């Protein structure tokens, strides 16, 4: 909700651009709250992540609705229209073929919606997808209702006969899922006494229920998709017809009350009536200066104001456009009993109008996607996110799909694991990490990076949301080099016991995962092969002499050997694989009195890089990164978005980035193909470093 609020200079507040209410947070809390609810949780929750809907700057939600939801709802609408039209006044003949067809279609759509709703609730994670689901369903319901009325040449009044059937169908879908999940939770609580999950804990606070309940009960919401404040009477005239049993007031009487109240309010605002201003301040909290700029419909359709002023309204002059004013009072124009009934309907309709406008606002923030928007790969045929756009898939399967193509950076400090094993105290270790993390976060933020999580002494950041598409990977490389330079200076000045850092950069797909323990505890992380590959790019072994007798080092080398053998199992026979393992075990277990034979590591390079040396090596398929390593995908992204200069380097080619002033800034060099743990194929690795002299 907060992300849609915009500052309105007329009212001096953050609000939604609404015409029948102020649209600020307090107003909406009161609108969807209940007296027993905590006002702080009375706001309708919607998914936190939004995206650009089109070429304009308008933000909202890109949603894949359930695959054939529109077709199924359309069939239901047509059968319902035929049902209420053909059997109207004839009573319900349960053997009538049209009635049987109607019941069959109704049962099918209830089961279909309930099936998808259950999947939504199971994966909701209190992110507002539950509310988004119902906004989509009710929007499609209204669109198909209008299309079906035109197709079947049904009268406009027929919609009021169809409305109870729509509401009943949607309500039964919701109740069916509640009943099923409550029963399942009860069974789990019997078998697991510690099990506490309920529908409420999965959906969050009670406003989820209030918001959806109002959406399903609001007649105007289920009959109109567009609620505009330009001419409220245009909409009200369509509602106050004889066929609509929900209201008793005649349209003519309602218009008399509306015009009279509006005329009185307009005059009071124009004249600066102090008594009127005090009443508005008391009921709506609106200051006189704001009142002068306010649209009068915000006051005229405010239920609290109408209810508070009901006795005063009886005595205001009748004001009807086109009629000569005779200073007649409303209680003279309308009988007291009629006035009371009109007032009840007026307040009821005002509440409905305010809420329907909220629903219409958010429906207009939704762009429904179709099969033409799908993308897929050879290995995964499920619906994916549109490239670099956040999408929500309400079909079976993934409910929240924010899989995005992003630039990812992983930073892994060297030697902190050894330090934490007892070389220095915990307080010294923490100070060491602070000395690195604090400036590192500033650097990442400066280049538009966003920290996604910390893992001990490691950082994962993404460079997408705050970076233009063409700059994300370049800025990640700049940030990586700046971090390495900072580390060199910090280690030298503060004498930190660090051997350096490995920084990996990759471009690939990444998805958020949301973990909730209760209504307040929220955790999120990122998942996917891309995150795993980026962390492997940062890998590098400490090569100090102290570690040559370290059992942990032997285990690391053993794990790496197993990974290499696993990745080459289709090219090496099982017998040869077994021989390699046996030789390795015998070789490393020799000279047991000294722990591990130094012969086991005689082939390893004697390297102890200083922090900031930008050294990235691939030796026998093993990556040793003490600089900034890029995947081949990251380099391809750079080449696609930047004008890199090619030049010969050794027996290969390196790429140089030249800045806007024509000065060479970064050089990217091929390092080799590396076997990365957990990655099936070898990965081409490039190093990034500043051009000499930079």
- Find the Cα–Cα–Cα–Cα dihedral 592, 593, 596, 599, rounded to 10°: -90
Residue 383: how many other CB atoms lie within 10 Å: 20
CB 154, CB 85: distance < 8 Å: yes
* CA gap 331, 310 in Å, rounded: 11
Name the residue with higher pLDDT: 333 or 106: 106
Helix (H), strand (E) at residue 144: helix 129-151
Higher pLDDT among residues 655 and 682, named by residue: 655
Q: How far is CA 264 from CA 273, 288, 339, in A?
A: 11, 16, 17
Q: How many CA atoms lie within 13 A of 560 on its CB side?
A: 19
Nearest 5 degrees, angle CA 560-CA 565-CA 566? Answer: 95
H or E segment and range at residue 472: helix 472-494
**Six-digit token pair at 423?**
């070389």
Residue holding tokens 């030697």?
415
Determine the topology of domain 405-535+611-690 in CATH: Alpha-Beta Plaits (3.30.70)
**pLDDT winner (highest mean) among 100-114, 485-499, 610-624:** 100-114
Q: Work out the number of other CB atoms within 10 angstroms of the CB of residue 589.
A: 13
* pTM attached to this predicted model: 0.74
User: Which tens digits make up the pLDDT trace of 274-285?
Assistant: 999 998 888 888
**Which residues lie across from 400 on neighbouring strands?**
392
Q: Which residue has the tokens 């790496």?
A: 560
pLDDT of residue 599: 46
169 neighbors 109 (Cβ within 8 angstroms): yes
Burial of 345 (C-beta count, 10 Å sphere; 0-12/13-18/19+): buried
Instruction: Report how far apart, in Å, the C-alpha atoms of 473 and of each of 448, 466, 504, 505, 638 are.
Output: 11, 12, 12, 8, 6
pLDDT tier, 138 (very low <50, low <70, confident <90, very high otherwise): very high
How many Å apart are CA 116 and CA 641, to the nearest integer?
41
* pLDDT of 423 strictly over 50: yes
Q: Can you spell out the DSSP letters for 235-257? A: HHHHHSSTT-TT--S-HHHHHHH
CB 22 within 8 A of CB 304: no
Would you place residue 683 in the very low, low, confident or very high pLDDT band (cuts 50, 70, 90)? confident
Which CA distances in Å does 592 have to 43, 93, 161, 547, 616?
67, 92, 89, 16, 33
Is pLDDT at 77 greater than 90 in this prediction? yes
Q: Which pLDDT does position 116 carry in this prediction? A: 93
Give the pLDDT confidence of 377-420 residue by residue, as tens digits: 444 444 455 666 788 888 866 777 777 788 999 998 876 555 55
Q: How long a stretch of residues is the chain?
A: 694
Q: Do 608 and 600 touch, CB atoms closer than 8 A?
A: no
What token pair was written down for 424? Answer: 């220095």
Percent of the chain with pLDDT over 70: 77
Structure tokens, 500: 């350096």
């Amino acid at each position: 909700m907060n992300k849609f609020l915009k500052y309105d200079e007329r009212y001096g507040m953050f609000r939604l651009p609404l015409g029948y209410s102020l649209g600020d947070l307090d107003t909406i809390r009161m609108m969807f709250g209940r007296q027993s609810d905590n006002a702080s949780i009375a706001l309708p929750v919607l998914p936190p992540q939004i995206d650009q809907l089109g070429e304009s700057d308008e933000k909202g939600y890109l949603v894949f609705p359930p695959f054939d939801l529109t077709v199924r709802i359309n069939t239901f609408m047509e059968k319902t229209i035929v049902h209420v039209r053909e059997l109207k006044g004839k009573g319900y003949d349960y053997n009538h073929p049209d009635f049987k067809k109607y019941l069959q279609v109704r049962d099918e759509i209830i089961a279909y919606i309930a099936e998808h709703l259950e999947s939504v609730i199971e994966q909701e994670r209190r992110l507002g997808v539950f509310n988004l689901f119902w906004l989509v369903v009710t929007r499609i319901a209204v669109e198909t209702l209008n299309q079906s009325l035109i197709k079947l040449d049904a009268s406009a009044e027929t919609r009021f006969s169809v409305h109870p059937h729509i509401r009943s169908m949607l309500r039964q879908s919701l109740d069916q899922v509640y009943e099923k999940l409550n029963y399942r939770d009860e069974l789990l609580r019997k078998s697991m006494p510690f099990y506490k999950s309920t529908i409420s804990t999965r959906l969050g606070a009670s406003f989820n229920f209030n918001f959806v309940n109002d959406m399903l009960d609001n007649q105007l919401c289920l009959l109109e998709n567009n609620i505009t404040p330009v001419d409220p009477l245009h909409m009200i005239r369509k509602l106050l017809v004889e066929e609509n049993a929900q209201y008793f007031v005649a349209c003519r009487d309602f218009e008399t009350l509306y015009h009279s109240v509006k005329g009185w309010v307009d005059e009071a605002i124009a004249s600066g009536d102090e008594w009127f201003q005090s009443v508005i301040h008391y009921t709506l909290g609106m200051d006189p200066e704001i009142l002068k700029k306010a649209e009068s419909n915000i006051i005229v359709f405010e239920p609290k104001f109408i209810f508070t002023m009901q006795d005063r309204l009886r005595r205001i002059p009748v004001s009807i456009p086109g009629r000569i004013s005779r200073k007649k009072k409303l209680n003279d124009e309308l009988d007291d009993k009629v006035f009371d009934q009109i007032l009840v309907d007026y307040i009821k309709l005002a509440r409905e109008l305010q809420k329907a406008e909220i629903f219409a606002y958010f429906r207009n923030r939704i762009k429904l996607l179709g099969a033409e928007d799908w993308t897929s790969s050879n290995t995964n045929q499920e619906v994916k996110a549109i490239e670099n756009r956040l999408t929500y898939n309400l079909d079976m399967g993934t409910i929240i799909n924010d899989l995005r193509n992003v630039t990812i950076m992983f930073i892994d400090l060297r030697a902190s694991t050894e330090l934490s094993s007892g070389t220095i105290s915990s307080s010294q270790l923490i100070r060491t990490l602070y000395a690195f993390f604090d400036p590192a976060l500033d650097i990442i933020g400066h280049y538009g990076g966003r920290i996604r999580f910390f893992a001990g002494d490691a950082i994962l950041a993404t460079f997408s949301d705050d970076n233009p598409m063409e700059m994300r990977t370049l800025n990640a490389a700049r940030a990586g080099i700046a971090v390495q330079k900072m580390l060199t200076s910090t280690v030298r000045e503060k004498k930190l016991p660090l051997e350096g850092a490995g920084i990996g950069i990759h471009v690939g797909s990444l998805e958020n995962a949301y973990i909730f323990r209760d209504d307040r505890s929220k955790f999120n992380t990122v998942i996917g092969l891309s995150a795993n590959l980026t962390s492997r790019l940062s890998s590098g072994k400490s090569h100090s002499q102290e570690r040559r007798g370290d059992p942990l080092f032997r285990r690391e080398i053993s794990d790496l050997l197993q990974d290499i053998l696993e990745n080459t199992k289709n090219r090496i026979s099982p017998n040869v694989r077994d021989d390699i393992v046996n030789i390795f075990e015998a070789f490393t277990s020799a000279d047991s009195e000294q722990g591990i034979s130094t012969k086991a590591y005689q082939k390893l390079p004697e390297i102890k890089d200083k922090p900031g040396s930008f050294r990235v090596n691939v030796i026998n398929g093993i990556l040793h990164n003490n600089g900034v390593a890029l995947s081949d995908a990251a380099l391809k992204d750079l080449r696609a978005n930047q004008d890199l200069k090619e030049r010969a380097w050794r027996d290969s080619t390196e790429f140089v980035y030249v800045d806007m002033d024509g000065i060479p800034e970064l050089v990217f060099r091929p390092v080799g193909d590396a076997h990365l743990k957990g990655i099936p194929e070898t990965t081409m690795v490039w190093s990034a470093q500043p051009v000499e002299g930079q």
